[in-house]
Structure 1
Amino acid sequence: MRVYVPATWPMLRTLVKNGSVDPIGGTAFALTPKLRESYTSGEEEELEYAALTEAARASLRLLSVEFGLGEDSTPARRVVIAADLENVTLRPDLDDGAVRIAGGVPFESIAAVHVDTDEAEYAVRQGAGAVDSADMGDLDAEFLVGEAEDHELAWYDPSEVAFLVELG
């Protein structure tokens, strides 16, 4: 199953260094039956993009924690790791596309990595600081999150990840 793992820049560094990455709480996103039901129409690729978008929002939540801890050297970029895994279970207690992964994500299973460009950093930093308030219904905060989400994530082949981390 193709899963989308919300991640951060330090998690990318770990992936390059150790050859695997552990999703926070084993949580990832995928095109689940519940996510498919929440859309009245859409091609497979469009629905996969919805799962990727949920993972990108979760990455923003992870960044809010990192910035809150003073990780100033961490680039303000959302990261989503797309991987093909078998040990995946549904998480109906969370978002429509949420799944649980058993164990880490080995580098060999990664299909692509999606990362914000440096042009998105200001909006992502603002969105990360506002995501919790947005989740609670604050319209100004939702605007800031929307500004971050307006930036498309860039696609990277797994062979480019080490170079990407080195440049970052």
Structure 2
Amino acid sequence: MRVYIPTTLRLLSVACNAGEIGPAPLTAYAVTPALREWYVEGDDEELEYAAMAQAARASIGLLAADPGTARRRVVIAAEVSAVPPADGSVELGDARLELHVVIPWRLVAAAHVDAAQASAVVGKAADLWEAAQDGDDNAIFALDSCEGEDLLWYATQEIPDLLAAEGPRGRSAGLS
């Protein structure tokens, strides 16, 4: 099953160098029964996109917690063999699940990363993350604005080059 793991460029570098994504438990997003039930008309591709979009939004929360990293959403796509069933406490449309395993790097299929040009929009959303969690309409609008930015696809063999271009702290060269 394909899962989408929200992260940052800094944490992507740690995982790539360690050869695994962890430690467990990991918050991931996938096509869950709750997502499938909410988006009845969606085909598999649309459901996968919806799960990845939820992971991208969660990446903003990680950026808010780490102001020193590049303001770009990052989502790791990985194939895992077993995903625990939802415990019934999730809301309709929720793709979130908790994985109680460390994911070996060999199971990573790709990384999805914002273009450097999205850093202003994503940075504003990260700065307003807490206010959005409290229901502030302007902050929620800032989060929603990120959905207009496409995530770029990087094959696993391209990730080291992406990270090298970002530098040791996961910051884009020339960006503050």
- TM > 0.5 fold call: yes
Residue aligning to 2:129: 131
Residue aligning to 1:82: 77
- Which ranges of 4 or more aligned residues in structure 1 deviate by more than 4 Å? none
Matched, 1:122 2:120: yes
Residue aligning to 1:151: 149
After superposition, residues 89-104 of structure 1 pair within 5 angstroms as 89-91=84-86, 92-94=88-90, 96-104=94-102
Residue aligning to 2:46: 46
Matched, 1:22 2:33: no
**1:110-138 deviations in Å (ceiling 9; x for gaps):** 11110011000011110011122223221
Residue aligning to 1:35: 35
Between the aligned residues of both structures, percent identity stands at 39
In 2: Cα distance, 1:23 partner to 1:54 partner:
21
Q: Call closer, same or farther: CA 1:23–1:59 in 2, change over 3 Å.
A: farther
RMSD, aligned CA: 1.6
Residue aligning to 2:63: 63
The TM-score normalised by the length of structure 1 is: 0.90
Gap regions ≥5 residues in structure 2:
167-176
In 1: Cα distance, 2:135 partner to 2:85 partner:
27
The TM-score normalised by the length of structure 2 is: 0.86
Higher helix share goes to which structure? 1
1:94 to partner: Cα distance:
4.8
Q: Call closer, same or farther: CA 1:124–1:24 in 2, change over 3 Å.
A: farther
Code of the aligned partner of 2:111: V
Residue aligning to 1:113: 111
In 2: Cα distance, 1:126 partner to 1:31 partner:
29
Contact 1:88/1:102 (<8 A) preserved: no
1:149 to partner: Cα distance:
2.3
Q: Call closer, same or farther: CA 1:150–1:44 in 2, change over 3 Å.
A: same
Contact 1:7/1:23 (<8 A) preserved: no
In 1: Cα distance, 2:72 partner to 2:116 partner:
7
Gap regions ≥5 residues in structure 1:
none
